[in-house]
Amino acid sequence: MYSVNVRDHFMIAHSFRGETFGPAQARHGATYVVDATFFRSHLDDDGVVVDIARAGETLKAILAEFNLRDLDEEPAFVGQNTTTEFLAGAIHERLAARIVAGDLGPGGPSLEHLRVTLHESHIAWAAYEAALPGAR
């Protein structure tokens, strides 16, 4: 399987509900480094997995939806603990939808798998990965 990775970052504020989270129940900030890794079993006619510039631009646009926001106040996340794991899934879902919509160009529909990893520090990260719908 071939892969291409693009990386960006975003900053948010949020809080968690539940004793599991201890002091993180209070509102706090987080800066995430995000890796989006695109997979396909064969390179396209140009010898690439996907247009790396388009992949980076698309990731940046998705992260802009979250950047410098208090996620506790975002209607889409009301009642949700916006954990690193949850956010990896939310970004994956948005990125997969953009791939299906054609935002990654002609190579997008041939992508087979996507992994989104959120690094919350140099020693801790979480990811969500799944096959892409309509992969051909």
Output DSSP code: residue 103: T
Separation of CA 84 from chain center: 10
Round the average pLDDT of the chain to a whole number and report it: 94
Distance (Å, whole) CA 20 – CA 13: 18
Distance CA 16, CA 102 (A): 35
Q: What is the pLDDT of residue 106?
A: 86
The DSSP secondary structure of 35-69, one letter per residue, reads: EEEEEESS--TTS-SS-HHHHHHHHHHHHHTTTTE
pTM of the model: 0.94
Cα separation, 117 vs 99, in Å, equals 17
Question: pLDDT value at position 127?
Answer: 98
Of the candidates 28, 48, 54, 130, the residue with the CA atom closest to the CA atom of residue 88: 130
pLDDT digits (tens, 9 = 90+) for 21-36: 999 999 999 999 999 9
Rounded mean pLDDT, 48-68: 96
Percent of the chain whose pLDDT exceeds 70: 98
Query: What's the rounded mean pLDDT across residues 53-59?
Result: 97
Distance CA(9)–CA(73), nearest Å, equals 20
pLDDT at 7: 98
